[in-house]
Structure formats: structure tokens, C-alpha cells
Amino acid sequence: MLPAFGTGGDIWIKRDDLNAPGCGGNKVRALEFLLGSVRRGDAVVTVGGAGSTHVLSTAIHAARMGATTTALRWTHDMNPVADLVASRIATASPRSRVGRSAVVAMATAQLRARMTSEHYIPLGGSSPVGVLGHVNSGLELAAQIAAGDLPMPDQIVLPLGSGGTAAGLALGLEIAGLRIDVVGARVGPRLFVHRRRVLNLARKTAKLIGRITGEHLPDVDPRRFRIAHQVYGGAYGRPLQAATEASAMLQGAAGIRLDGTYSAKAFAAALDEARTAQGTTLFWLTFDSRCLTN
């Protein structure tokens, strides 16, 4: 449980940054499945922004498996942590290169995967296979609540980019029968970051699980998912003053470092929720600062 920070409701934190040794965070949950077929000596290709934590996490964990990673990236607004991530990517993935167009990067990566034996890891790991890892996170949370590790949250706040984490978490909670609101703090433009994408990802993942298990899974209740638009900041990666201040508060109170692209904006949204919503707010920490040094 975190200090109240002047809010009316309780704020708890899910330390999903510590879900793996050395470099954890939400991306690891998707990579558990997306890198499942990778073997020593294989090559991986993925995409993301210049300061993408997904790209960094992919490169680090693919290397642990003896594989190399080529990352096709694009320029965007940067912040101090994004600059550090970009520098770390240059070391972890020497084959990485940065262009100006996200569309060109994604098309090139997919073409490479079709023309070669490289394993393609989609943007943010957000495919039905990758989302399976986040379904597990929802079931894990349900088990922690049942064990009394934390009270039942009324809402969970997490960053919303490519949508896989929110989709899987919402589906996992639905499977567990928990009526908890999932609030995505939007960090990208509305054209690409919206409710329809998240709900479609959840629906496709439920169908994938159904094909594997033979069971019919419920769709995510759209009323249980909403988006906090106020923390976007105008561009992906662009620092937001409220997020910078919220990040400083958390680091001062708990020694936890956030990044300006995702987690700081989500924590600012969590504070907003705790000020305006009733009950308990759970902040889902997706960024592991250890990835910058380990």
C-alpha cells in the first residue's frame, strides 16, 4: 500500500516490474510466449519507438536464450528515461536502426520475417499469443486477492499503448469472475490507442484460448474498461508535467523509479482516480528500471 498522496482513496501498487530477474515488467509476460519457439543461434526481428522498452526487453531476453535481435525503430519525442533506453538498446541490439516512419518499420519487419527464418515479435508484443501472458497476470492478481495479499481493488490503472497488457488483464479478471474496472492511461494518439483495439485483442485472445482448451470464455465487459485521456501529453514519449511530479512523489516515498513515456503518466492517472473515484485504486507498475543497468 502506498501513502495517500493527498487523495481520498487508498492506493496500492502491483510490482509487476519485479516479475523476472534482472529485467521484468509487462513486456516479459508477453515474451514468455512470443519467444517460446526461439532457440540458440536464432534471429529475432521486432519494432518499436527509438526509446521502446519493448524493444529493449526483447533484445535482453532473446540474448539470454542465445538469439540475436534486429530492431526497426522510429523517432519520437523523448524524455530522460527514453534516452537511456535508446542508449541501452544500442548495446543490447547492435543491429537496431532508427528511421522516421513507424509504418515503414513495421512493414519491413513483417516482410523480413516472411522472407527469412527470423522470429517476428509484433509491436509491444500485442498479439493474441502475447496477450496470453497478461491473462496470466489477471489470474495471478485474483490469486493474490484470494490469499489476502491486498484488498479487492475497485479500479486498476496501467499504461495504455499497444493494448496487450490491458486486454489480457481485463480478460484474466473476467475469467476469474472479478468485477474490477481496468483504466488505461493513454500514452499514444487516439488513432492507434482506443477501446476498440483493446476489446478486439481480448476477444481474439479468448477465441485462441477456446480453440486450445475447447472451453467457451466470456468476452470482456466493455463497461469494465475505460481510458484516461488526460495524461497523454500531446505526443508519444513527450514528458508531461503532472507525470513528472507524480513520478518524483513516488520515488521520494518508495524509491521507485518511473519512466516518462508510460509508467509516470499511468501513476498520474492513478492519483486522479484515487482523488475522484471511491474505494481502492491499484497502480500496475509495468516499468522495471533494472533493465537500464542489468
Query: Which residues are CB-contacts of 184 (< 8 A; sequence separation ≥ 6)?
Result: 158, 159, 160, 163, 166, 193, 198, 225, 226, 227, 228
State how far the Cα of 124 lies from the Cα of 58, in Å rounded to an integer.
10
Do the Cβ atoms of 44 and 121 come closer than 8 Å? yes
Indicate if the alpha-carbon torsion angle 176, 182, 187, 189 is positive or negative. positive
State how far the Cα of 267 lies from the Cα of 271, in Å rounded to an integer.
6
Among 105, 101, 96, smallest CA distance to 44 is for: 96
Active-site residue, selected from the candidate residues 52, 126, 247, 289: 52
State how far the Cα of 92 lies from the Cα of 59, in Å rounded to an integer.
6
What is the grid cell recorded at 33?
510466449
CB atoms within 10 A of CB 211: 9
Indicate if 247 belongs to the active site.
no
State how far the Cα of 49 lies from the Cα of 77, in Å rounded to an integer.
9
State how far the Cα of 26 lies from the Cα of 56, in Å rounded to an integer.
12
**75 — phi, psi (to 5°)?**
-75, 150
Type and span of the H or E element at 61: helix 53-64
Q: Which residues are catalytic?
A: 52
